[in-house]
Structure 1
Amino acid sequence: MDFYSLYSHGFLRVAACVPKARVADPAFAAQETISLAEAGDASGTAVMLFPELGLSSYAIDDLLFQDALLDAVEAAIARIAEASRTLHPVLVVGAPLRRDGQLYNAGVVIHAGEIVGAVPKTYLPNYREFYEHRHFTSGAGATGMIAVAGRTVPFGTDLLFRAAGSAPVTFHVEVCEDVWAPLPPSTRAALNGAELLLNLSASNITIGKADTRRLLCASHSARAIAAYAYSAAGPGESTTDLAWDGHAAVFEYGDLLAETQRFPTGSVMASADVDLGRLRQERMRINSFGDCRREEAGRGPAFRTVTLRLDAPGRTVPLARNVARYPFVPADPSRLREDCYEAYNIQVQGLAKRLVASGAQRAVIGVSGGLDSTQALIVAARAMDFIGRDRSAVLAYTLPGFATSDATKANAWALMRGLGVTAEEIDIRPAARQMLADLGHPFAEGAPVYDVTFENVQAGLRTDYLFRLANHHNGLVVGTGDLSELGLGWCTYGVGDHMSHYNVNASVPKTLIQHLIRFAAASGDVSAETVAVLHAILATEISPELVPAGDGREIQSTQQIVGPYALQDFNLFYLTRYGYRPSKIAFLSHAAWSDAARGSWPVDLPDGDKRAFDLREIRHWLEVFLKRFFASQFKRSTLPNGPKITSGGSLSPRGDWRAPSDGDAKVWLEELAANVPEV
């Protein structure tokens, strides 16, 4: 396994190409096609798509009936096939083909010196500027064989092309109008196993049409859970009555991965690394897709499978795909604002409903001065606004222990006062000393023993106080623990960061919570003093503050123990959302976080984080994550209620993540060790 090559991790490089054209000049078209194919071969591309009728030109009207032109097209196909003998990519080109006295608008699949098959266009537009019925026969229902350039090859709309080898993929070909139809042929193809859908198009340009194309292809790829490549005619096509923008693009499950610059002056291509593993995972996971597959099996004729062998290039092909460093946090500022707005309202609505439904009159919350309790307190205050109660019905408590710093305690008080909630302080140290003495713990005798018992006595007492305060004041305890902590098991079983009456943060990762607090600070709904406090909280080292600093001990740093949240949120997302094997997660993490990836980082990073991690660090923290994730499932199996926030999922045992509490990380750790180099 070549760890650094995209083909080792379920990716496939696909290119949608627009060669420069000359009207009705197949020899020129063949040369431009071959030139692009050679460029694709050099870059490690596996599949290359070209425009509809690209070898003849599209807008040539009755010249399509000329035998001289049709003969030249077949000669061009033969020439491309011969050139493909020494090229790696599968080539899909557009050509008019004769069969049984009829003319078809077809996509021709060529690979390794062979003409593999031909697929005719099903839906022929005959409206407005289109007159295809004048020239072509619809391929609807067509099946059998066709003679092309002296060879007899499979022909029909019922063809699936299945590549075996070290770059396995199943793809389907359709032509232009086919995707504009209510039921594109590629829909049935996807239900029969096609993962990559290819559309050869001419598609003249009019104002606004490019956006329609993007919408159409993106939505179709999302519904079909597929990759969709689209290529339209460009420079050199006839402009007698139409114009062409050379728009080519590659989509994956609704996402636009790459597109050409429109209105080019020469040949161009949009290249993208399609994540076939993502598509395969989603198809397994989304049972409605499987239901449609079963329904499809009883309809219409079966597809024929044309096999070919497609191997990965015999060299490392680095990933050329933008991998978001923060999968839970969009890099686009406008999208981030919208996500924060929605997250807040989901949290507020969830807590408001629970307050009303439970009959609780108050919300009880512990405030540490850290990120999670800050976010939960803001939500609690706004939930009271939402249901028309005074914010004084939020009973907020700071519960200082042996390691609580003056700074975090001051921030907690300033925040509680700034939000207008009822604020109180309960010093848990006397009760903690008594409990430690009752347990016979050395700390009670003055020994500086800071073990897990010492830590959890404090955490447990805080939770005891909050639940009894809720009893006393007819309230419910608002949980503060976040998704990242639950994933890492960085929470004490049965205490505040794990247990509550309702946890508003349960499916919010640490990397997103920071932005929710920034969003609140920028909302204009809080005072300037409170904004300053929020920024101070954001700048504070993340710490449980359970072991006192001093005597050579620095303040407890959570991320030095469980790993950088930026990396661990990345690992959590790809393990639980897509089920990727550890080696693929490490590969993606390296693509996103290594020094080599710095050039692709946005100027304004989402949280100003300019760190980079080498593969050794990525591997180490992924190993830590896997061990902690599997070992702590018993904590997630008993989670309180809380709303799902992100499409990345939650870890609720009633929702996105259901797993045995006694699972073992052995298989995942072995895969990591076997397939990810240490340096």
Structure 2
Amino acid sequence: MRDGFVKVKAAAPEIKVADTEHNSEKIIEIIERADSDGVKVLVLPELCTTGASCRELYYQKHLLSASDKALQKIAGATAGRDMLVFIGAPLAHEGKLYSAAAAIYDGKILAFVPKESASNDGVFDVAPEFETQIYSESFSWVSLLPRAIFSHKAVSGLNVAPIFSADRQAALSPLYELCANGALILAELSDEPMRICSKNQTSAYLRAESEKYSAAIVSAAPGEGESTTDYVYSGLSLIYEAGEQLSCGEFGASAMSEIDIDYLIDRRRRMKTFKSTDSFDDRRIEWGSSEVGECRLTREYKKLPFVPEKDELEEFCERAMLIQAMGVKKRMEYTGLYKPVIGVSGGVDSTLVVLSCAKALDMLGMPRENLIAVTMPCFGTTERTKSNAVIIAEQLGATLRVIPIDESVKAHFKIIDHSLYDYSVVFENVQARERTMALLNIANKVGGIHVGTKDLSEQADGWCTFNGDQISNYDINAGLTKTMVQAVVRHYAEKTADKILSDALFDILDTPVTPELLPISERGELLQKSEDSVGPYSLQDFFLYHMLMRGTEPKKLIRISEYVFKGEYDRKTLVKWLLSYSRRLFIQQFKRSTTADGPEQMGFTFSPRTGYKMPSDAESTLWLKALDEIKL
């Protein structure tokens, strides 16, 4: 459980209806396999000691007693195992019959947590309101405790609460109270049969509820062996973490993954919507060892966390461009300035801005000639990028202006007494600011607005010139990371019927990302590449997602990165680029504090008004020190 990872599993035993001896053996087999996998929280279906389809047989004392004995046998099989197990079983007490979750750890039944909602067939009673003690010849006195939370002794925040699938339909679901009082993992014991749409419906519910409550839900439903008199059961097992499906199993396959409780705690801190209640103080039960062991990672992480899977990619790209177009459309309508002025470099960022501004003009019913595409070649411009910029502008029907700035840059060097052969930051920034000054002045001259091109990734690491490409009248790339920009441009290239435009777009995507501020080689080849200075953008966006959006600590982030990028980047390389990224993230904040307006796209932005805010003079020492301590 090091680094806040907890391995969980949901599984459905292959039962025989009302055969508790057979069922207990199958359950014990699952427990043994889970233990060998390093599982710390195991969830089995509702009523799995007897089967969930016994109907009137649940009233039989003989079956209830056999279930109690099976529970005690199962509990004995957990002795010496560091694993919290939730098993569904029928439970008789004082003339009432409950469907309960037996919470078992290290050979003991810690408590029974009864189902709160009445069953559809009317067999089981509604859970009692208060705690009571129940007795059985098989397990002596055990608490019957509604809405209980099981808290780990050594791992802060590792709080697990059993729930039932029927509680989803309750007007007052127990989920809010449980989560408000610290439950991070919800162990859902389900009795749901298989229906045509049940998998999608259950997945949609778990996705929504886990995201709503910033929780993990581990759900196990009955599987094969259940009665098919009225239903068929598939053993659907699902694990969700804050809206993301981590694992899914069905028809004998279990679901297993690792929950990142640090991430869930980070989300809860930001929510500030939960209000705990003192009434839960006597509903907490401790479990777990005092030692915190390792947790081997098996969960799948996306290398490109901001780019969706293929089946969602088309809608994602269409909506991303629509948001950009609507943003600049509103800004033009408000100002009455209907000529977007864009500096086009032949790079992916400026290309997307041109595409979206063309769309905005289409939405306004205005000619694309209103779009002023300005290419300003200088010392670092290659024929390849210049040619692509021209092609894009011409194919879209924009007004193209080619304004070489080398002479004006040289004049400025002379004014400030800077050598033409001194390739310091001054050499680069003079060019960037010259371009921005020209674009702003052109916008004034033609009655338009200068639409900026920097993206979210460049804002994060400050890979832009202050008062150069850092500023504009409106910044429509502000809500998209570099990998998102590339995905949207690629989608446009694939769908457009314009072959010339498509070829140019694909060539732009194949061109190394560069600010083109340092001279090219004698052969006209590009020498300055952004990723040589700030690291691969796949890593940058991965760091951005995990460090800022998930609150992942430096050492943990290196561990995750090693796991995800195994075979691509070794530890030394990952530490190098995360050190660089962390340093730049802090020292470049002053650029983000004065950035232009621009639309948010996916729940994260650096807007100084509504986005991620930090002081411009905060120290990065703690983060850098943590990375320096990593053994290479």
TM-score range, shorter chain: over 0.9
State how 1:123-162 maps to structure 2 within 5 Å: 123-126=117-120, 130-132=121-123, 136-148=124-136, 149-162=138-151
- 1:620, distance to aligned residue in structure 2 (A): 1.0
Q: 3-state DSSP class of the match of 2:552?
A: coil
Q: 3-state DSSP class of the match of 1:646?
A: coil
> What amino acid sits opposite 2:142 in the alignment?
V
- 1:337, distance to aligned residue in structure 2 (A): 1.2
Q: Is the 8 A contact 1:166 1:310 kept in 2?
A: no
Specify whether residues 143 and 544 from structure 1 end up closer, same or farther in structure 2 by C-alpha distance, changes over 3 A only.
same
Equivalent residue for 1:372, pick from 335, 349, 352 = 349
> What amino acid sits opposite 2:376 in the alignment?
L
- 1:653, distance to aligned residue in structure 2 (A): 0.8
Question: Following the alignment from structure 2 to structure 1, what is the Cα–Cα distance between the partners of residues 462 and 584?
Answer: 6
Determine if the alignment matches structure 1 residue 659 to structure 2 residue 630.
Answer: no
Partner of 1:405: 382
Partner of 1:604: none
- 1:419, distance to aligned residue in structure 2 (A): 1.1
- 1:404, distance to aligned residue in structure 2 (A): 1.1
Determine if the alignment matches structure 1 residue 83 to structure 2 residue 77.
Answer: yes
- 1:101, distance to aligned residue in structure 2 (A): 3.1
State how 1:238-387 maps to structure 2 within 5 Å: 238-262=227-251, 264=252, 268-287=253-272, 289-290=273-274, 293=275, 297=277, 304-310=283-289, 314=293, 316-330=294-308, 332-387=309-364
Equivalent residue for 1:527, pick from 495, 498, 508 = 498
Partner of 1:584: 556
Q: 3-state DSSP class of the match of 1:519?
A: helix
Q: Is the 8 A contact 2:147 2:161 kept in 1?
A: no
Determine if the alignment matches structure 1 residue 512 to structure 2 residue 484.
Answer: yes
- 1:57, distance to aligned residue in structure 2 (A): 2.0
> What amino acid sits opposite 2:491 in the alignment?
F
Partner of 1:19: 13
Q: 3-state DSSP class of the match of 1:442?
A: coil
Question: Following the alignment from structure 1 to structure 2, what is the Cα–Cα distance between the partners of residues 663 and 57?
Answer: 59
Among all aligned residue pairs of Structure 1 and Structure 2, give the percentage whose two residues are the same amino acid. 32
Question: Following the alignment from structure 1 to structure 2, what is the Cα–Cα distance between the partners of residues 555 and 587?
Answer: 33
Question: Following the alignment from structure 2 to structure 1, what is the Cα–Cα distance between the partners of residues 258 and 146?
Answer: 27
- 1:154, distance to aligned residue in structure 2 (A): 2.3
Determine if the alignment matches structure 1 residue 118 to structure 2 residue 112.
Answer: yes
Q: Is the 8 A contact 2:303 2:542 kept in 1?
A: yes
Question: Following the alignment from structure 1 to structure 2, what is the Cα–Cα distance between the partners of residues 475 and 456?
Answer: 25
Q: 3-state DSSP class of the match of 1:85?
A: coil
1:627-677 per-residue CA deviation (whole Å, 9 max, x = no partner) reads: 011010000000000001123x11111122111010111111122233x43
- 1:159, distance to aligned residue in structure 2 (A): 1.5
Question: Following the alignment from structure 1 to structure 2, what is the Cα–Cα distance between the partners of residues 510 and 131?
Answer: 56
Partner of 2:197: 208
- 1:549, distance to aligned residue in structure 2 (A): 2.6
Partner of 2:581: 625
Partner of 1:486: 459
Q: Is the 8 A contact 2:155 2:292 kept in 1?
A: no
Q: 3-state DSSP class of the match of 1:251?
A: strand
- 1:168, distance to aligned residue in structure 2 (A): 5.3
Equivalent residue for 2:475, pick from 484, 503, 520 = 503
> What amino acid sits opposite 1:219 in the alignment?
A
1:419-465 per-residue CA deviation (whole Å, 9 max, x = no partner) reads: 1111111111111111111111222xxxx221111111111111111
Q: Is the 8 A contact 1:12 1:167 kept in 2?
A: no
Q: Is the 8 A contact 2:148 2:161 kept in 1?
A: yes
Q: Is the 8 A contact 2:190 2:220 kept in 1?
A: yes
- 1:162, distance to aligned residue in structure 2 (A): 0.9
Partner of 2:410: 433
Question: Following the alignment from structure 1 to structure 2, what is the Cα–Cα distance between the partners of residues 242 and 517?
Answer: 49
Question: Following the alignment from structure 1 to structure 2, what is the Cα–Cα distance between the partners of residues 464 and 333?
Answer: 40
Question: Following the alignment from structure 2 to structure 1, what is the Cα–Cα distance between the partners of residues 535 and 249?
Answer: 40
Partner of 1:463: 436
Partner of 1:451: 424
Q: 3-state DSSP class of the match of 1:345?
A: helix
Question: Following the alignment from structure 2 to structure 1, what is the Cα–Cα distance between the partners of residues 366 and 352?
Answer: 19
State how 1:153-192 maps to structure 2 within 5 Å: 153-166=142-155, 169-192=158-181
Q: 3-state DSSP class of the match of 2:149?
A: strand
Q: Is the 8 A contact 1:542 1:559 kept in 2?
A: yes
Specify whether residues 103 and 452 from structure 1 end up closer, same or farther in structure 2 by C-alpha distance, changes over 3 A only.
same
Question: Following the alignment from structure 1 to structure 2, what is the Cα–Cα distance between the partners of residues 391 and 239?
Answer: 65
Specify whether residues 77 and 451 from structure 1 end up closer, same or farther in structure 2 by C-alpha distance, changes over 3 A only.
same
Question: Following the alignment from structure 1 to structure 2, what is the Cα–Cα distance between the partners of residues 473 and 641?
Answer: 21
TM-score (norm 2): 0.96
Partner of 2:569: 613
Question: Following the alignment from structure 1 to structure 2, what is the Cα–Cα distance between the partners of residues 650 and 312?
Answer: 40
Specify whether residues 383 and 313 from structure 1 end up closer, same or farther in structure 2 by C-alpha distance, changes over 3 A only.
same
1:344-366 per-residue CA deviation (whole Å, 9 max, x = no partner) reads: 00000000100110121311111
Specify whether residues 165 and 302 from structure 1 end up closer, same or farther in structure 2 by C-alpha distance, changes over 3 A only.
closer
Specify whether residues 228 and 485 from structure 1 end up closer, same or farther in structure 2 by C-alpha distance, changes over 3 A only.
same
TM-score (norm 1): 0.89
Q: Is the 8 A contact 1:88 1:313 kept in 2?
A: no
- 1:240, distance to aligned residue in structure 2 (A): 3.2
Q: Is the 8 A contact 2:325 2:360 kept in 1?
A: yes
Question: Following the alignment from structure 1 to structure 2, what is the Cα–Cα distance between the partners of residues 199 and 242?
Answer: 20
Question: Following the alignment from structure 1 to structure 2, what is the Cα–Cα distance between the partners of residues 231 and 673?
Answer: 43
Larger mean CA deviation between 425-434 and 147-156 belongs to 147-156
Q: Is the 8 A contact 1:590 1:618 kept in 2?
A: yes
How many residues are aligned here? 630
Partner of 1:671: 626
Q: Is the 8 A contact 2:2 2:292 kept in 1?
A: no
Q: 3-state DSSP class of the match of 1:21?
A: coil
Determine if the alignment matches structure 1 residue 389 to structure 2 residue 389.
Answer: no
> What amino acid sits opposite 1:306 in the alignment?
I
Q: Is the 8 A contact 1:506 1:643 kept in 2?
A: yes
Specify whether residues 551 and 213 from structure 1 end up closer, same or farther in structure 2 by C-alpha distance, changes over 3 A only.
closer
Question: Following the alignment from structure 1 to structure 2, what is the Cα–Cα distance between the partners of residues 42 and 312?
Answer: 18
Question: Following the alignment from structure 1 to structure 2, what is the Cα–Cα distance between the partners of residues 113 and 673?
Answer: 44
Q: 3-state DSSP class of the match of 1:587?
A: helix
- 1:166, distance to aligned residue in structure 2 (A): 4.2
Q: Is the 8 A contact 1:229 1:251 kept in 2?
A: yes
Q: Is the 8 A contact 1:328 1:512 kept in 2?
A: yes
1:190-229 per-residue CA deviation (whole Å, 9 max, x = no partner) reads: 1211111112122222332232222222222222221112
- 1:386, distance to aligned residue in structure 2 (A): 1.3
1:478-519 per-residue CA deviation (whole Å, 9 max, x = no partner) reads: 101111111111111011x20000011112111111111112
Q: Is the 8 A contact 1:22 1:29 kept in 2?
A: yes
> What amino acid sits opposite 2:122 in the alignment?
Y
